[in-house]
Homo-oligomer: A and B are copies of this chain.
């Protein structure tokens, strides 16, 4: 086998036999080796690899052969340095566990499929300061684009992203003043609409049940309150919000401190505990609007346990429409959010813009859907 790696390039002053030549390279073949073997210039190899049609068929096949023979692997770091452009898209998510974000992620990956885009993912843990740090880090890689969650970046984060030379997409919320582009839906409208549905079904003493509230959850709560107020149910709305009926105490019952990691409260068990507290402190509550589906599932189980009829005695609604909601007995009402679609749209618009296309719309409201099911059918 012709297995002589890249030595011909340096016929310098070094003695040919003893040549210690402490190369800093890791010994893997470079584009120059491929070029030498194919009998062409390095740049031709470069072109053949990135844009085959720029090279004649003959050279191209020679090059392909050489690539295969040498087992050539392009060095993307060198490429990125030379072109000051990389194929990495930075993605910042508040959580890697919540189904809502994993669905977004799946959309991003599916949408990025078949391209050479790579995803670099970070977990900012619902923490704007952490997010700032991560953005700083990410930018060092000179990514091709960025996807960040929500619209509540710190001023510094925002500045960095504005100065960043590439597409930036904020997702999962809406704002009229995006950094660059935003794709999401209005959490306030979602909360309002589900509450309106509950009221239309005849529920009057509705509790909003949640663990810890993210910025977006707060939007839902606002929507809930507005809808209650609009129906002249504001007083009870406040009274029955779990925020007002001993959440702290309930949290203690979970054996956890009411401080971070607060995300852990978004579990069915939390739902059960919180609902027990509601029954104690606000027995007249006739429906619970849960800030997420896991809580709703827990409430259902607690009702099952206590022999409370759903939807007759208590209406239950969740948020997100995870797959167990439709399969539950009775099926649980919820708000379907288009998480997958959002992720997909985000990476798609980045791809398009990287290809030179123009942004389309800067603000993309994908909406959401009220899934009215048995659990709120009064």
Using a CB–CB cutoff of 8 Å, the interface residues on chain A facing chain B are: 24-26, 73-78, 80-82, 84, 86, 88, 96-97, 99, 102-103, 105-106, 109, 116, 118-123, 136-142, 165, 267-269, 271-272, 294, 297-298, 301-302, 304-305, 323-324, 326-329
Contact = CB atoms under 8 A, between A and B. Distances in A.
Contact of A75 (B97, B103, B142, B302): B142
Given A81-B78, A137-B116, A327 B96 contact: no
A327 B267 contact: yes
A94 to B, nearest CB: 12
Contacts of A121: 119-121
Given A73-B136, A142-B77, A106 B97 contact: yes
Contact of A81 (B81, B84, B105): B81
A102 B97 contact: yes
Given A25-B84, A141-B118, A301-B328, A267 B75 contact: no
Contact of A26 (B76, B84, B99): B84
Given A84-B26, A122-B119, A102 B96 contact: yes
A142 to B, nearest CB: 6
Contacts of A78: 77, 81
A140 B73 contact: yes
10 contacts: A24-B82, A76-B141, A76-B142, A96-B105, A109-B122, A267-B324, A268-B327, A269-B323, A304-B304, A305-B329
Nearest to A272: B327
A294 B323 contact: yes
Interface of A, helix, strand, loop or mixed by DSSP? helix
Sorted nearest first, the 5 A-B pairs with minimum C-beta distance are A268-B327, A77-B80, A301-B329, A269-B327, A304-B329
A77 B84 CA distance: 9
Contact of A327 (B106, B140, B301): B301
A7 to B, nearest CB: 18
A7 B307 CA distance: 78
Contacts of A137: 116, 118
Contacts of A105: 96
A136 B72 CA distance: 11
A6 to B, nearest CB: 14
Contact of A297 (B102, B123, B327): B327
Given A73-B139, A77-B141, A323 B267 contact: yes
Most chain B Cβ neighbours within 10 Å, of A25, A297, A326, A329: A329
A5 to B, nearest CB: 14
A79 B272 CA distance: 52
A309 to B, nearest CB: 13
Contacts of A123: 106, 109
Residue from A25, A73, A77, A272 whose CB has the most chain B CB atoms within 10 Å: A77
A105 B119 CA distance: 14
Contact of A324 (B73, B102, B297): B297
A26 B165 CA distance: 9
Contacts of A141: 76-77, 118
Contacts of A77: 77-78, 80-81, 86, 141-142
